Structure 1
Amino acid sequence: MAKTIFITGASRGFGKLWAAAFLERGDKVIATARDPRTLDDLVSQYGNNMLALQLDVNDRAADFAAIHKAKEHFGSIDVLINNAGYGLFGSVEETSEQEAREQMETNFFGLLWLTQAVLPIMRAQGHGHIIQVSSVVGLITFPVLGLYNASKFAVEGLSETLAAEVKGFGINVTLVEPNSFSTDWAGASAVHTTAMPEYEPVKTAFLSGMTDDRFGVPEATTPAVLELIDSKNPPLRLFLGKFGYPLVKQAYEGRLAEWDSWSGISAAAHGK
């Protein structure tokens, strides 16, 4: 059955790719971008099934207005995909206040405002699926991505809580956690801090590990995303790519071992 899907950050990358796949199979799509002209090709090709909206997700009032307009246009919103976001590259010490705040505004608060806006619609319908595009680094961390890591950790905590709160309304929540893919996330859309020479060795070591095989093929994610939105019992978390699960498994095994080694001290700190 065709669905009505609202997706942000659709000007390029995963957003553009997935929006086109939804339209190709007959879904109705509301796609947003800061510059809606980047969506003209989809509007031209898919006509009435495609609604392109200009949206800066950092603007809470505009987020609510966009969701309202989508509901008025198509009558329902079955799926919200919060895909808008960008990567901030640089050490924690290098990061300015403005850079830190802007990273959280887009990656976390924009997602929060759209989630809040769509919830009354989905509650009234008695069904819905909110898909948050997180990252492997919402579960583990990499150096020189501190604020990006933090924004995705925040998305993970928010969305896991949300899933428990809205399950009774027939609303599902899924965190999609890609590893690295060959989109322009680390290219034109990325922001870089002003470099400090003290952190060059850390950056060099990080970049040396980012070999070509680490980057997945973006088009290969489409079948997984289509299966996800069609699932009657979607998972809370879904990795995209072959590197996410092994990296997270290794990291969590290390955490459990460390927690276990300190468990006696932890228990004693309870006091009774």
Structure 2
Amino acid sequence: MESKSILITGCSSGIGFHAAAFLKDRGYRVFATARKPEDVETLKAHGFDALQLDVNDSPSIRRALDHILDATDGTLYALFNNAGYLQAGAVEDLSRDAERAQFETNVFGPMELVRLTLPIMRRQGYGRIIQNSSILGVVAMPFYGAYNASKFALEGFSNTLRQELRGTPIHVSILNPGPITTHLRENAFQVYQRTLKHTVASPYQKTYKKMEQTYFAPQERKIAQHPEAVVKKLLHALESPRPRTRYYIGLPAHILAFLKRILPDSALDWVIYKIR
């Protein structure tokens, strides 16, 4: 039986890398992509069919897809939109450029990949599209406004896509992880240093100092799960004949999603304030 092919974005580390490794071992034809050439070389050294793909760059996306279609005789079983990053900062402190950059990576890149892969899946008569969102695409947290907004946008796009594909053999699933042990925080700190570190006039300077000592600190949270927890749900979304539309991953994600359903906004705001 011919192996199923899957395109995964953001494979340099974390969820993307673990997903690529697990699925490769399971027999999938994994096309593992990364933005930086050096990360692509590292992936190749691990035995992956690795490609450079920058979700912010349309020609890069098209080149990667052309390579994949040449290698698979024009087929692609699944797309896992995993690439993304977190822009921290209060809403009033973020520039339009910072907000735009967040949406380019977390929203517009995945949207373009979906647009380009859907005709392939329609033509072959099957396909899976899995979006790596976040529990912050369901429940907002203060000082992550751009990230919250980008994930809420990805959720809206994915829900609409699923409705439009109703009755077709193409399935759309959303993953909503809570805290996961990845490089998301380290990468977020680098973005924060670039975009907000010197915002001296901000009324939130004390909050930023606290974030530097807690959220951005190089330490593992006890509640954070290994990326394998995400891979387990990804596998179900790929192989179940009836994949779920949404997968909450980890106890914090389940609790917050439940509270979102039962609490009024003011009560949920109080809970968020207490747990931050």
Letter in structure 2 aligned against 1:198: P
The CA deviation at 1:251 is: 2.1
Letter in structure 2 aligned against 1:116: R
Kept in 2: contact 1:11–1:36 (CA 8 A) = no
The CA deviation at 1:119 is: 0.4
Decide whether aligned partners of structure 1 residues 90 and 256 sit closer, same or farther in structure 2, where only a CA change above 3 A counts: closer
- Partner in structure 2 of residue 265 of structure 1: none
Moved more, 56-65 or 202-211: 202-211
Cα distance in 2, alignment partners of residues 201 and 131 from structure 1: 38
Moved more, 111-120 or 198-207: 198-207
- Partner in structure 1 of residue 270 of structure 2: none
Cα distance in 1, alignment partners of residues 129 and 145 from structure 2: 26
Decide whether aligned partners of structure 1 residues 208 and 174 sit closer, same or farther in structure 2, where only a CA change above 3 A counts: farther
Cα distance in 2, alignment partners of residues 115 and 9 from structure 1: 15
Instruction: Write out aligned runs for 1:55-70 (5 A).
Output: 55-70=53-68
Cα distance in 1, alignment partners of residues 251 and 170 from structure 2: 28
Identity of aligned residues (%): 36
Instruction: Write out aligned runs for 1:1-272 (5 A).
Output: 2-46=3-47, 50-75=48-73, 76-188=75-187, 190=189, 191-192=191-192, 193-194=195-196, 195=199, 196-203=201-208, 212-255=221-264
The CA deviation at 1:169 is: 2.7
Report the 3-state secondary structure (helix = DSSP H, G, I; strand = E; otherwise coil) of the residue aligned with 1:159.
Answer: helix
Report the 3-state secondary structure (helix = DSSP H, G, I; strand = E; otherwise coil) of the residue aligned with 1:63.
Answer: helix
Decide whether aligned partners of structure 1 residues 227 and 207 sit closer, same or farther in structure 2, where only a CA change above 3 A counts: farther
Cα distance in 2, alignment partners of residues 161 and 43 from structure 1: 36
Letter in structure 2 aligned against 1:127: Y
Decide whether aligned partners of structure 1 residues 36 and 232 sit closer, same or farther in structure 2, where only a CA change above 3 A counts: farther
The CA deviation at 1:253 is: 1.4
Cα distance in 1, alignment partners of residues 254 and 68 from structure 2: 35
Kept in 2: contact 1:143–1:203 (CA 8 A) = no
The CA deviation at 1:189 is: 5.0
Cα distance in 1, alignment partners of residues 25 and 42 from structure 2: 13
Instruction: Tell me which structure has the larger Cα radius of gyration.
Output: 1
Kept in 1: contact 2:88–2:188 (CA 8 A) = no
- Partner in structure 1 of residue 271 of structure 2: none
Letter in structure 1 aligned against 2:28: D
- TM-score between the two structures when normalised by the length of structure 2: 0.84
Decide whether aligned partners of structure 1 residues 214 and 199 sit closer, same or farther in structure 2, where only a CA change above 3 A counts: farther
The CA deviation at 1:31 is: 1.2
How many residue pairs get matched?
Answer: 255
Find runs of 4+ consecutive structure 1 residues off by over 4 angstroms.
201-211
Kept in 1: contact 2:179–2:225 (CA 8 A) = yes
Cα distance in 2, alignment partners of residues 38 and 94 from structure 1: 32
Kept in 2: contact 1:64–1:113 (CA 8 A) = no
Cα distance in 1, alignment partners of residues 223 and 16 from structure 2: 21
Kept in 2: contact 1:175–1:238 (CA 8 A) = yes
The CA deviation at 1:41 is: 4.7
Structure 2 runs not aligned, ≥5 long = 268-276
Decide whether aligned partners of structure 1 residues 248 and 204 sit closer, same or farther in structure 2, where only a CA change above 3 A counts: farther
Letter in structure 1 aligned against 2:246: R
Kept in 1: contact 2:35–2:53 (CA 8 A) = yes
Kept in 1: contact 2:233–2:247 (CA 8 A) = no
The CA deviation at 1:207 is: 8.0
Cα distance in 2, alignment partners of residues 207 and 233 from structure 1: 43
Letter in structure 1 aligned against 2:9: T
Deviations 1:76-101 (CA, angstroms, capped at 9, x unpaired)? 11010001110001110110111111
Decide whether aligned partners of structure 1 residues 21 and 177 sit closer, same or farther in structure 2, where only a CA change above 3 A counts: same
Letter in structure 2 aligned against 1:58: N
Kept in 2: contact 1:143–1:206 (CA 8 A) = no
Report the 3-state secondary structure (helix = DSSP H, G, I; strand = E; otherwise coil) of the residue aligned with 1:177.
Answer: strand
Moved more, 135-144 or 192-201: 192-201
